Amino acid sequence: MKTATVYGAGVYGLCLAWRLVQRGYNVRVRSLEPPLGPGTSSIGGSRIYRFAYFESAAYVPLMQRAFGLWGELASDLGTTVHEARGVVYAGPGDGDLLRGVRGSAEQYGLRIESGHPVPEPLPDGYETVFEPDAGFLYSDRICLGLFERLQGLGVQFEFGVPAVADSGLSFFALGPGMKALCPKWNLTVTMQTIAWLEGVSATLPVFGFDGGQGSFLYGIPAHADCTLVKVGEHLPGPVAGLGLADPFAQLPGIASNVARFLGPEARVVQKAACRYTNTVDGDFIIDWVRANALGISACSGHGFKFAPAIADLAIEFAESGVRPELLLAFSGDRST
């Protein structure tokens, strides 16, 4: 029987293990922390998925492939793992956010609608675009569901184990831990503030809001059947581990910006800090760490939605030695 070791038990390690088992591998997962451990990047209850990718249209086919696999996972787990509540994007009509959304939608024939109503008046010059097929993933349910399913399928989990050199086929999906494992990839790890608000309409779609100067503020239902909204800012926060970094430094800015969008009733009731791993250009890195060991840094704050598709493609890459077309942009060579 073919065997493989997966290092890391975040969404990537779990999806890799799931897809490897489906290809007939005997799999073990070794990790410092268990799924949803406090130091991992997969925590927080919910994650946005969107097809009309403003960052680059090149991500659209990857998301389409991932969406099919999220459906397969839902059948395998016997539960829903997403909610297609739609995403409202708000920003200046000629800004990067709306131009990117419209460009991706046009290139791939995705459904979008202009002029979606929002609860509060928007800043001058702002317009909205609604993507009805986007929404959010139940990220905690996915990670815990996969963990339980994999144990049922005979996958061995070992926790408290640091990643080490291994002679067999291995996959390294260490989230922020990839920085130390692979210094040549030139990753930075930053602390991101997330906050949960109450007093917000329970039927509010997911929203993404252009906060200016490259900032993308977002709000997502906290998890399945929940009236709290989780908000954050997709802009690298303070660098982690320097001692000076205040993990909640972004909170006042986020709160005042989302109040413009959600209204004065919205109140912060809980907050947390979570680590982002950033590449030099915001795109992922999937490349060899050494012979027979593939590293996956699907990071920069937008990786969750792609996890099963990247897991599949990474396994194909590791088995064939040939980089699949959808991973062509993700070589580690561009990291200086």
Ligand X SMILES: Cc1cc2nc3c(=O)[nH]c(=O)nc-3n(C[C@H](O)[C@H](O)[C@H](O)COP(=O)(O)OP(=O)(O)OC[C@H]3O[C@@H](n4cnc5c(N)ncnc54)[C@H](O)[C@@H]3O)c2cc1C
- Judged by CB under 6 A, which stretch of 43-51, 101-109, 112-120, 182-190 contacts ligand X? 43-51
40 binds ligand X (CB under 6 A): yes
| Alpha carbon distance 279, 162 (integer Å) | 22
Q: Which residues is 45 bridged to in the sheet?
A: none
31 binds ligand X (CB under 6 A): yes
Residue nearer to ligand X on the CB measure, 97 or 173:
173
Residue nearer to ligand X on the CB measure, 40 or 279:
40
235 binds ligand X (CB under 6 A): no
Residue nearer to ligand X on the CB measure, 8 or 86:
8
Question: How many residues belong to the site for ligand X (CB under 6 A)?
Answer: 36
- Judged by CB under 6 A, which stretch of 119-127, 246-254, 287-295, 297-305 contacts ligand X? 297-305
240 binds ligand X (CB under 6 A): no
| Alpha carbon distance 324, 320 (integer Å) | 9
The site string for ligand X over 162-191 (x = CB under 6 A, - otherwise) reads xx---------xxxxx--------------
Rounded least distance, CB 199 to ligand X, Å: 21
Rounded least distance, CB 223 to ligand X, Å: 13
27 binds ligand X (CB under 6 A): no
276 binds ligand X (CB under 6 A): yes
8 binds ligand X (CB under 6 A): yes
The beta-carbon contacts of 163-166 under 8 Å, at least 24 apart in sequence, are 163/7, 163/8, 163/30, 165/290, 166/5, 166/293
Rounded least distance, CB 257 to ligand X, Å: 16
222 binds ligand X (CB under 6 A): no
| 6 touches 171 (CB < 8 A) | yes
119 binds ligand X (CB under 6 A): no
What residue ranges bind ligand X (CB under 6 A)?
7-13, 31-33, 37, 40-42, 44, 47-48, 162-163, 173-177, 192, 194, 232, 274, 276, 298-299, 301-305
